[in-house]
């Protein structure tokens, strides 16, 4: 199979939610020298975008979205070591979770993989993470950054509630807060009082590093402890 055929088949089998074929094609692509990011950005992610478009048009329903998502998650596990394995020293702890009421986790997991690849220690709180769970995780893990994902317009307001609870617990000053997810924008991030936003996983990594550098520079300028 040519590389082009692998991309095309991987795209189609992901849309069809054919988990075993998606796994085979992912492994075959890698065995034939294709990069993990080509498989991800040229086939797997576009396939889920197409699934979303079909859902919006009423051609697909929740079960189809679910099996396509599962097929993608299987491929992501195969790609994970290649995307995340840098052996780099930890540059900070990143607590991450999908907000309460939301079960989408593929995008969050991809951000986690990229963060691990960049040298972050990631504590993944999973999905449907309630505000008190974020608060407890900050107390327990003392992260540099707390990341929150929301994939539904109806769950985005949880960012504000989470930030409110973190502030109420007296922890807001000690963490950088980043938000993201398909419907989220920079404007929305500003409104809820987050420190940073990113539209995709690689931008999330870059933004996380920038925010840490900014915090260090601010601390150096004011003489405050980090």
- Interacting residues toward ligand B1M by CB under 6 A: 45, 48-49, 51-52, 55-56, 62, 65-66, 68-69, 101-108, 110-111, 147-149, 151-153, 178-183, 198, 200-201, 204
Give min distance, CB of 37 to ligand B1M, in A.
Answer: 11
Nearer residue to ligand B1M within complex by CB, 51 or 175 = 51
The 8-class DSSP code of residue 99 comes to B
Is there a contact between 124 and 93 (Cβ–Cβ < 8 Å)?
no
Give min distance, CB of 2 to ligand B1M, in A.
Answer: 25
Nearer residue to ligand B1M within complex by CB, 32 or 214 = 214
Q: Which residue is nearest to ligand B1M (CB)?
A: 107
**Residue 110: burial class (beta carbons within 10 Å; 0-12, 13-18, 19+):** buried
Nearer residue to ligand B1M within complex by CB, 49 or 77 = 49
Nearer residue to ligand B1M within complex by CB, 61 or 142 = 61
* Coil/strand/helix, residue 47: helix
Give min distance, CB of 61 to ligand B1M, in A.
Answer: 8
Per-position DSSP letters for 114-172, written without gaps between them? HHHHTTEEEEE--SSB-HHHHHHHHHHH--SEEEEE--STTTTTHHHHHHHHHHHTT-G
């Amino acid at each position: 199979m040519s590389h082009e055929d692998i991309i095309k088949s991987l795209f189609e089998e992901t849309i069809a939610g054919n988990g075993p074929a998606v796994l085979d094609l992912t492994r075959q692509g890698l065995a034939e020298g294709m990069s993990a990011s080509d498989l991800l950005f040229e086939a797997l992610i576009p396939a889920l975008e197409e699934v979303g478009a079909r859902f919006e048009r009423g051609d697909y329903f929740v079960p189809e979205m679910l099996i396509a998502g599962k097929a993608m998650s299987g491929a992501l596990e195969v790609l994970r070591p290649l995307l995340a394995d840098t052996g780099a020293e930890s540059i900070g702890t990143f607590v991450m979770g999908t907000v309460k009421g939301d079960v989408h986790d593929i995008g969050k997991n991809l951000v986690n993989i990229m963060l691990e690849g960049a040298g972050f220690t990631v504590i993944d709180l999973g999905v449907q993470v309630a505000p008190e769970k974020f608060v407890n995780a900050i107390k327990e893990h003392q992260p540099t950054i707390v990341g929150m994902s929301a994939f539904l317009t109806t769950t985005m307001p949880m960012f504000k509630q989470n930030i409110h609870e973190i502030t109420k617990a007296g922890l807001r000053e000690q963490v950088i807060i980043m938000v993201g997810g398909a419907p989220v924008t920079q404007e929305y991030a500003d409104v809820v009082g987050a420190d940073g936003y990113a539209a995709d996983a690689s931008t999330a990594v870059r933004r996380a590093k920038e925010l840490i550098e900014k915090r260090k520079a601010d601390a150096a300028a004011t003489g405050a402890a980090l």
